[in-house]
A = this chain, B = another copy of it.
Amino acid sequence: MTDRFDAEISLLLTDLYQLTMLQAYFEHDMHDTAVFEFFVRTLPTNRHFLVAAGLEQVIGFLENLRFGAQELDWIAHYGAFRPDFVDFLGRLRFTGDVHAMPEGTVFFPDEPILRVTAPLPEAQLIESRIINLLHFQTMIASKAIRCVLAAPGKLLVDFGLRRAHGAEAGLLAARASYLAGFAGTATVLAAPRFGIPLFGTMAHSFIEAHEREVDAFERFAHSLPENVVLLIDTYDTEAAAAKVVQLATRLTAAGIAVKGIRLDSGDLGAHARKVRHILDDGGLQHTTIFASGNLDEHSLYRLLADGAPIDGFGVGTHMDTSSDSPFLDCAYKLQEYAGRSRRKRSEGKATWPGIKQVYRRLGSTGIMRGDVLGLEGQDIDGVALLQPVMRAGRCVLPSATLATAREHAASEIARLPPELRTSAGGARYPVTVSSSLHELARTLDARPV
């Protein structure tokens, strides 16, 4: 296996029908300009809004789009594709324009967050991977931001790699959650790849590999004196907290501070209270309590509402799999081809046609007041959220960095109406459809097909 068959970068990570459709387009000279838009059809239960994420990976994918020799060879020998079409694929690059909401932008159903304008074969081929990239990070950022809203001011760390769905999901969940306001991740690769801060403690196996729990604590402290966070729930949580207090005296003599302890099982709130008491009584008022284990935004909210003295949380499986809603009902749909608007009318899946724009009104204090889904170029009050990000196949953003996206997400949180900030359900943000867009849809529905 060479890297050209690597899942993260191979152009063969696509659906077979993209290639068969491209061959039909090629044979019939269908190279006119197509416009596709990516949007989410409906909000999952327990989501008041979504957070756009994944654009940086989409741009990287499009800028580097080309079939490698090994891939072309495989296609040529598959049996369904003609030599002149394979030659065409060998020359194929992405030459189109892309408009998108900046990463970190809050958005709602039916609002496109990405628009691709390109020759039909280019705009078609990229569908599967564009959805794959935008869907996942948007879903994770939208879940992670609920944890950020539930635990303001707390240290939140992504712990989800092991149960994330494969390698890329583990890596990109670290990115999406950091974008949404997490402090960092335990996933090492996220540091060299994205510059995300790393956090980590120790596993139960480390404790169990020692005959005595306190030996494990002491060795770890001497090995990593700058970051002594001790896992204390392997056998008896409160007994271990008492051992930490005794150990701290010896460590202090060696110039080492116990920075924190971690709880990972049982009633986290009850243990945190008892452990806080033991630590405080032992003079370890500055030792923080970090909790993990099956956490999500609801448990964070409950623990903090109950006054649990917990300073930080490791959030893993539930966030990295968006466990209460592990997919978004999203699509990448043709809106216009060769200058004519297009509309799918399938039952329950009809789409708004045409080249669209999202206009957002903000109140005088900056709070979001309502969106209009309209056509690009309409004279509508508000900020136009879709901005140019690629022209003729090249990125035109001055700096599409993760840090910028994270700052943008934080400013978006500040603009949220209060009713969208709670984890409870039922709130509705006003999104209206412009009369011009309604009119266009009616016109298209009357057209014979």
**A residues bordering B, Cβ < 8 Å?**
1, 3, 5-10, 12-21, 23-25, 27-28, 30, 34, 36, 74, 78, 80, 120, 124, 127-129, 131-133, 135-136, 159, 161-172, 186-189, 191-193, 198-206, 208-209, 211-213, 219-220, 222-224, 226-227, 233-236, 264-266, 317, 321-323, 326-328, 330, 333-334, 337, 340, 342-349, 448-449
16 A-B interface contacts by CB (under 8 A): A8-B8, A13-B167, A13-B170, A16-B200, A21-B220, A24-B220, A78-B198, A124-B206, A127-B203, A135-B162, A163-B328, A167-B167, A204-B333, A212-B448, A235-B345, A323-B327
Q: What chain B residues lie within 8 Å of A24 (beta carbons)? A: 206, 219-220, 223-224
Roughly how many angstroms separate A15 CA and B191 CA in the complex, as a whole number? 11
Q: How far is the CB of A246 from chain B (nearest CB, A)?
A: 15
Do B170 and A132 have beta carbons less than 8 Å apart?
Answer: yes
Do A80 and B227 have beta carbons less than 8 Å apart?
Answer: yes
Roughly how many angstroms separate A449 CA and B27 CA in the complex, as a whole number? 74
Roughly how many angstroms separate A82 CA and B278 CA in the complex, as a whole number? 34
Known: A6-B3, A14-B188, A188-B15. A166 touches B163 (CB 8 A): no
Do A219 and B7 have beta carbons less than 8 Å apart?
Answer: no
Do B186 and A15 have beta carbons less than 8 Å apart?
Answer: yes
Do B201 and A17 have beta carbons less than 8 Å apart?
Answer: yes
Known: A165-B165, A168-B168, A204-B333. A209 touches B15 (CB 8 A): no
For A70, the closest partner residue in chain B by CB is B192
Partner of A205, one of B131, B213, B333, B349: B333
Roughly how many angstroms separate A431 CA and B162 CA in the complex, as a whole number? 27
Q: How far is the CB of A116 from chain B (nearest CB, A)?
A: 11
Partner of A346, one of B166, B169, B234, B334: B234
Partner of A15, one of B16, B168, B200: B200
Known: A12-B189, A186-B17. A348 touches B171 (CB 8 A): no
List the 6 shortest-distance A-B pairs measured between CB atoms, nearest first. Answer: A16-B200, A166-B168, A165-B165, A266-B347, A326-B326, A17-B200
Roughly how many angstroms separate A234 CA and B9 CA in the complex, as a whole number? 32
Given contacts A14-B161, A132-B164, A264-B349, 14 further A-B pairs with CB under 8 A are: A5-B189, A14-B189, A15-B186, A17-B186, A17-B201, A23-B223, A24-B219, A24-B220, A78-B198, A80-B227, A128-B161, A132-B166, A165-B321, A212-B448
Partner of A163, one of B28, B129, B131: B131
Known: A346-B234, A349-B265. A136 touches B166 (CB 8 A): yes
For A28, the closest partner residue in chain B by CB is B219
Q: What chain B residues lie within 8 Å of A170 (beta carbons)? A: 7, 13, 132
Roughly how many angstroms separate A371 CA and B27 CA in the complex, as a whole number? 59
Roughly how many angstroms separate A323 CA and B327 CA in the complex, as a whole number? 7
For A120, the closest partner residue in chain B by CB is B209
Known: A15-B188, A16-B188. A206 touches B162 (CB 8 A): no
Do A132 and B333 have beta carbons less than 8 Å apart?
Answer: no
For A172, the closest partner residue in chain B by CB is B166
Roughly how many angstroms separate A234 CA and B448 CA in the complex, as a whole number? 13
Q: How far is the CB of A312 from chain B (nearest CB, A)?
A: 15
Roughly how many angstroms separate A322 CA and B372 CA in the complex, as a whole number? 35
Do B266 and A348 have beta carbons less than 8 Å apart?
Answer: yes
Do A162 and B15 have beta carbons less than 8 Å apart?
Answer: yes
